[in-house]
Amino acid sequence: MNKPGGKFFMVMVLAVSIAAALMGYETAAAQWEAEWQKTLEAGKKEGKVSGYIGLLAPALRKEVAAFQEKFGIQIEITPGRGSDLTKKLRTERAAGIHLADVAINGSNTMYAAKNMGATVPLDDKLILPEVTNPKFWYTQDHLPYLDKEKHLFYFYAYPNRDIAINTDLVKPGEIQSWQDLLKPQYKGKIVWSDPSIFGSGFNGFATNLMSKMTDENFYRRLVATQEITLSRNLRQMGEWLARGKYPIAVAVEGRAIAEMVNAGAHIAYVALKEGAYLSYSAGIIAFAADAPHPNAAKVFVNWLLSRDGQGFAQRATKYMSARNDIPTEGIVNPESMRVPGEKYFIASNTTENWIEEHQPKYLALAKEIFGPLIGR
């Protein structure tokens, strides 16, 4: 028989444990709220945040007034192509000038900024729980940093499904693997974005090899047996696919496909058992070293990575947010959305030291393998 005193003791232990947990939660909440208010007030005194921004710049200009009304901070935008902004950062740092607070661009630009010492770790700048909790991001158990030092945070993550089909000529489900392209019935029926030059064809080629989704032998067999056609005109590839001249197209960027689908073409992407690689577009953010307005920059970064900020970023570009709590219906093309259970890989051109170490090797290999098809 249980003694009444023992039962009372267990109840008391449970009550104390619950109270301690609640106190810990309340303490943590009080800590981040206090830090956020302190940062917000300091940011208002700084008055502005300066961003060197690529793709998102035009849409962000339209958001300046709303951001200032909400936070009391002005956004100052320096727009430009990645190469131009890289050159600007390098010139300014050489002269000891520090104008940028944050930078948002593609992987090559952001890695270049990091490698020249123009960025600092971002993890200690993130304050809002809805930003710091990995459960709100597709990665689930960690935040989506591109580098192990946590300088570069990517906030877009949408799959590239490289194979598109004309569904009037190729039934959905016929192609389930890259290896299926070697089947005799597809001989002479495949158009491919030329992998021997920089672009979508090369990116897919290099990513497949680096991720071991395919191997060199697959591509050599493809070139030797399938009479594939190479093209450097993505829109033309989309038109050929829509008309059925080629019922299979590989590595056509989404915009060309979307244009044909919107015009009524019967086109669909193929989900492969090997998986798909994720693109981040120009959606990688970093905190500038020696930022002149560090608190305003923290406010901006936390807002952009919040549910509200990511809703804006997704609507602005139609690219799927790396967050998993942003509505996508009617905004993101269904063909460019992540789906449960699909395997995803990092795109080759978003890996660190890609340009220096990997790009030349894979480009030379692509030229060797696909060279016999050029001009055919």
pLDDT in tens, the chain (376 residues): 455 556 666 655 555 455 444 455 457 678 999 999 999 999 999 999 999 999 999 999 999 999 999 999 999 999 998 889 999 999 999 999 999 999 999 888 999 999 999 999 999 999 999 999 999 999 999 999 999 999 999 999 999 889 999 999 999 999 999 999 999 999 999 999 999 998 889 989 999 998 899 999 999 999 999 999 999 999 999 999 999 999 999 998 777 888 898 899 999 999 999 999 888 888 999 999 999 999 999 999 999 999 999 999 999 998 999 999 999 999 998 778 998 888 888 887 777 777 677 888 999 999 999 988 876 5
20 phi and psi, to 5 degrees? -65, -40
Q: How crowded is residue 262: how many other Cβ atoms within 10 Å of its Cβ?
A: 9
pTM of the prediction? 0.81
Q: Tell whether 232 and 246 lie within a shared domain.
A: yes
Output the pLDDT for position 21: 45
| Domain shared by 241 and 197, yes or no | yes
239 within domain boundaries: yes
Predicted local distance difference test score (pLDDT) of residue 287: 98
Q: What is the pLDDT of residue 7?
A: 62
CA–CA distances in Å: residue 343 to residues 49, 160, 271, 276: 38, 11, 10, 6
> Does any domain span residue 99?
yes
Specify the pLDDT at position 168. Answer: 97
Report how far Cα 270 is from the mean position of its chain's Cα atoms: 20
Indicate whether 344 belongs to any domain.
no
For residue 316, the model assigns a pLDDT of 94
**Which residue shows structure tokens 């063909």?**
335
Backbone region of residue 48 per phi and psi (left: phi > 0; alpha: psi in -120 to 50; beta: other values): beta
Q: Based on the fold, state whether residues 329 and 366 are members of the same structural domain.
A: no
Asked if 23 and 82 sit in the same domain, the reply is: yes
Do 139 and 39 lie in one domain? The reply is yes
146, part of any domain: yes
At which residue do the structure tokens 């989900």 appear? 271
Predicted pLDDT of residue 255: 75
CA–CA gap between residue 149 and residue 341 (Å, rounded): 29
Q: Are residues 249 and 308 in the same domain?
A: no
In a domain, 2, yes or no: no
- For residue 253, the model assigns a pLDDT of 76
Q: Same domain for 215 and 294?
A: no
Q: How many domains does the chain have?
A: 2
Burial zone of 184 (CB within 10 Å; 0-12 exposed, 13-18 middle, 19+ buried):
exposed
Q: Are residues 261 and 307 in the same domain?
A: no
Give me Rg for the CA atoms of the chain. 25
Is position 104 within any domain? yes
Question: Is 141 found in the same domain as 56?
Answer: yes
Domain range for 361 is 162-270+354-373
- The answer to whether position 205 is within a domain reads yes
| 346 within some domain | no
Q: How far is CA 74 from CA 45, 47, 48, 70, 118, in A?
A: 11, 6, 4, 10, 22
Residues 308 and 214 in one domain: no
CA 114 to chain centre: 18
Are 363 and 297 contained in the same domain? no
Statement to judge: residues 51 and 115 lie in one domain = yes
CATH number of the domain enclosing 99: 3.40.190.10
